[in-house]
Amino acid sequence: MLTGLPVIGVAKTPFAGRHDLPARERGSWTPIVLDGEVVGRALRTREGVKPVYVSQGHRVGLDEACGHVLRLAPAYRIPEPIRRADRLSRGR
């Protein structure tokens, strides 16, 4: 927030709240609800693969955050910048 840059959250496992599984197709999603409030989405980035969990952040709404995640995950479940950072941190 100090830099003013937009931020979104993407995780491989849900942090909080409840959700139903989205349909099998890429781009399908269901809301993640905590205490009656929508706090994110379970989003399918690949057909038939487990969803990722997206939350809005600073200066980015949920629709826009999900759009970014889908654009950044054209070939794998995890968005490419996160996937590369994970691989580099493991020395692969």
Looking at the whole model, is its pTM more than 0.85? yes
Domain ranges of the chain: 9-89
User: Are β-strands 9-11 and 37-43 bridged in parallel, bridged antiparallel, or unpaired?
Assistant: unpaired
Token pair 């939350």 is found at 55
Dihedral (CA of 73, 82, 56, 46) sign? positive
Measured in whole angstroms, the distance separating CA 80 from the mean position of its chain's CA atoms is 12
The answer to whether 31 and 38 are in contact (CB under 8 A) is yes
Name the strand (E) or helix (H) holding 27. Answer: none
The answer to whether 78 and 52 are in contact (CB under 8 A) is yes
How confident is the model at residue 74, as a pLDDT?
96
DSSP 73: -
Query: Which segments in the chain show pLDDT lower than 50?
Result: none
The answer to whether 44 and 27 are in contact (CB under 8 A) is yes
How confident is the model at residue 2, as a pLDDT?
86
Q: Each residue of 48-73: pLDDT tens digit?
A: 999 999 999 899 999 999 999 999 99
